[in-house]
A and B are shown apart, each in its own frame.
Chain A
Amino acid sequence: MKTIADILREHSFFDGLSPEDLTFVAGCGKNVHFLEGEVIASPGDPANEFYLIREGHVAISLNNPSRKPFILQTLGVNEILGLSWLIPPYQWTVSVRAQCSIRAIAIDGACLRQKCEKDPCLGFKLMKHLVQVMAMREDAIWLHLFDVYGNGK
Chain B
Amino acid sequence: MKKILYTFLLLLSGNVHAALNIFACEPEWAALTQQLAGNQASIYTATGALQDPHQVQARPSLIAKARNAQLVVCTGAELEIGWMPVVLRESVNSAIQPGSLGNFEAAKYVSMLEVPTRLDRADGDVHAAGNPHIQTDARNFLPVAEALSKRLIQLDPANTAFYQQQLATFSQQWHTAIAKWEKQAAPLKGVSIVVQHKGFPYLNDWLGLKEVAELEPKPGMEPSAAYLGSVLSDLQQHPAKMVIRAAYQNGRPSEWIAERAHIPAVIVPFSVGGTPQATDLFTMFDDTIQRLLAGLK
A, B assembled together: no
